[in-house]
A and B are shown apart, each in its own frame.
Chain A
Amino acid sequence: MKHFKTLFAASVALMMGTQAHAWEPEGTVEFVVPYSAGGGSDVNARLLVEAWRKHDIVDANVVVLNKSGGSGAVGNTYTFSKDGDPNTIQTYVSGQMMSSISNNAAVKLEHLTPLGTLTLDTLLLVTRSADDYANFAALVEDAAKEPNSVTIGGVSRGSEDHLVFTMLNDSVDAELQYVPFDGGGDVLSALLGGHVDAAIFNPSEIGQQVEAGRAHPLGAFSEERLAAPFEATETFGEMGYADVAISLFRGYVGPPNMPAEAVAYWENALKEAYETETWQQEYIADKGLIGRFIGAADSAEFYAREAEKYQRLLEAVGFVN
């Protein structure tokens, strides 16, 4: 009888073993955000986790971990140190890739494992109120009086914010001054407190403030006009600065040597989240973004191509040589 029990238990275990489908995360998953809380990447990660939970896509407990500093290098390095771990994922945005190129950081794109891309995004130049600067021309006029007197806040040095700043600075007849902060929340405090004259934000970071009349957009770094509340905001292209535009991606990576079945799991989780109403409505539509799902392999290729493009752009503006 005892033997029979053991045998039975063993066969049940065996059946369960063979029945077990693809890999699934166990325990706690760390979702690394390499920027401080309240910024664009943080909002993105927290909403993604919400979509996963609400629609039962990921059963494991996913904890968002803010590892800010070093223009994203601190978070990249942290994820890099989790070599082969299937339970660590990280937000990966173009700015992070860019700063790893311009700072020649130890951890670059080729050290991480791309899992997928969900959104394309852009940037805006914003001031505190129309009383400060009614439009971009007024800001340039003021800046022309004294070099480096008009300050523009953004996240990190050598980042996408810094790049668009440099592109803009190079095409106006004035010297603007860039002030790097640790995260979007810090830039917002500085702008609302009047410690910088203008600042660069993602549309999702500043939409609420614009609606509340606490911020005034001066121009969009996009190819086309953005949706509400930015429908009246001119693009820099419209203002005559033809090449001052940027298209940013928001993707996700894992540590180096992440097992193939884990990559497949997370790619699928991203795809399913992308199709949910939560994601489409509360993220893409509410925040005026451009939604696009790009799988793991295609993202790897896409990122590599973008990395080359940034290298070229950064060399052109003199960040790297």
Chain B
Amino acid sequence: MDTLIALQNGFATSLSLGNLSAALIGAALGIIVGAIPGLGSVTGIALLLPLTFGMDPTTAVILLAALYYGCMFGGAYSAILLNIPGDAPAVMTALDGYPMAKRGEGGQALFAANLASFIGGTVGIIALSFMGPLLAEIGLMFGPPETAALILLALCSIGWMLGDNVAKGLIATMLGILLAVVGIGSTFGHARFTGGSMHLLNGVSFIPLVIGMFGFSQLLEMMTDRPKQGEGPKQIPLRESIPGRKQVARLVPLSLRSGLIGTFVGILPGAGATTGAFLSYVFQRKIGRNGDQMGTGVVEGVAASEAGNNGAAAGSFAPLLSLGIPGSGTSAVLLGGLMMWGLQPGPLLFTTRPDFVWGLISSMYIGTVMAVIAAMLIIPFLMQILRIPISVLIPVIATVCVFGAYSVNGSMFDVWLMLTVGIAAYYLKVAEYPIAPLVLAFVLTPRLESSIRRSFDISNGDPWIFLSSPISVTLISVICALVVMGVAGAVASRVRVRTART
């Protein structure tokens, strides 16, 4: 009950005309920033932060929270429309979103993505409002061995879950792991596999890699395999793209579920929205009604991924507000904002400055509503992109790819890197190797390595530490079950093929 009263007070401050317009502006900006490949919520908030200095703290934080939510919505757009995920969590969105767009169902994918983002985000915010401090405490239970087991679970399921050929999925995962270890190792500070190159000391940059792997290889595919003039898919018009009651009923339960999974992963230190989106997707694929079709372009895939990463975005605020530990890059930038307004982030924030904490939480509700309104207004324009003829689209995408790769570090090396991995990814695709496992493994590997290394430091080299807590035992059992089931399934199908032949 106290929570409801506190939340009500929060809304009382955040629901003024000025604050509402701040939320709308923030959401619209966020959608644009999120939709541009190479720019993400971290950059967006960092760029906007200085402009908020003259503002009232509550207005400022509402603007930033809305921007954050807008980014989460916008990240799905370039993934769906161009097959270029704006950030790591959107990788999963591209898997089903882009095939849908190619079939002319882009509008449906966009609306489903936004509906799911809204539901997933709201689930996360409600959890944050009522159980924020509790969630943060649960997050603390994940030490190095538990984190290692969780990431290992994600990595193991990548190969088995994505694509039809398990062996090829695993090979792609391994390639991602290999790319991720390039650069200065986080444990000892030694350079690995850099070939003496200055540029590779910092490792392979994520944005050029993902733009090359998805966007540029897509471009090559379009060029070699384009449909004859006027033979493009028939676009489903706007009116029919808006989800009807039936479709909403189909998406709501899965978005709620994915939002919960995402929120839970979001509170864990360093697991992040990517793991949240990924695990939601995998879970949906396992238990969902048409899970086996996921990856070919079904709305469930888009919705699971989007609800998962929006839930994680909200969840990452729990350790920030209740313990003063930033759970994501974006909440780290907001931590800077908190200090700027003279607040001391830490376990006392809820009691010393309830006005601010509840103002922020209530502004998240407003931010996500504003983002959904702004998104609905923007989608009709976005759908025009789907009508652009392929001959015009190709140079546009090429420009976006080069610009996006260059803009991250202002380095031509990244552009060459993007082009190289793009060509490599094209041939991988031709040989039917899935690309998503590679990119996900690349994102997850550094955290896995440092968690494993740290676990061994804690146990003084004893591997039993990975089986020393109920959490890690459960996770490792699931990993073993997955592997056994996968192998058994493969053997069974081979036997079946053989008996069928004889």
Contact = CB atoms under 8 A, between A and B. Distances in A.
B319 A212 contact: no
Interface in B300-323: 319, 323
A157 interface: yes
B185 A70 contact: yes
Interface in A26-77: 36-38, 42-43, 46-47, 49-50, 53-54, 61-64, 66-67, 69-71, 73-74, 77
A37 B326 contact: yes
A196 B339 contact: no
Contacts of A158: 189
Contact of B202 (A64, A77, A148): A77
B325 A189 contact: yes
A151 B458 contact: yes
Interface stretch (B15-23, B46-54, B60-68, B278-286): B46-54
Interface string B118-145: 0000000000000000000001111110
Contacts of B319: 189
A81 B198 contact: yes
Contact of A177 (B324, B344, B346, B457): B457
B344 A181 contact: no
A55 B299 CA distance: 51
B293 interface: no
Interface stretch (B70-78, B106-114, B258-266, B329-337): B329-337
Contacts of B339: 43, 46-47, 50, 282
B424 to A, nearest CB: 25
A282 B187 contact: no
Main secondary structure of the interface of A (DSSP, over half): mixed
Contacts, number: 139
A190 interface: yes
B393 interface: no
A193 B329 contact: no
A163 to B, nearest CB: 15
A133 B474 CA distance: 31
Nearest to A185: B325
Nearest to A158: B189
Interface of A: 36-38, 42-43, 46-47, 49-50, 53-54, 61-64, 66-67, 69-71, 73-74, 77-78, 81, 99, 103, 105-106, 148-149, 151, 156-158, 177-182, 185-186, 188-190, 192-196, 208-209, 211-212, 214, 282, 286
Interface of B: 46-47, 50, 53, 139-144, 183-191, 198-199, 201-202, 269-270, 319, 323-326, 329, 332-333, 335-336, 339-340, 342, 344-348, 446, 450, 454, 457-458, 460
25 contacts: A37-B335, A46-B335, A47-B339, A49-B336, A61-B50, A64-B46, A64-B333, A64-B336, A70-B184, A70-B189, A70-B190, A77-B184, A78-B202, A105-B189, A106-B191, A151-B458, A156-B189, A178-B457, A179-B457, A180-B457, A185-B325, A185-B326, A189-B323, A189-B325, A209-B346
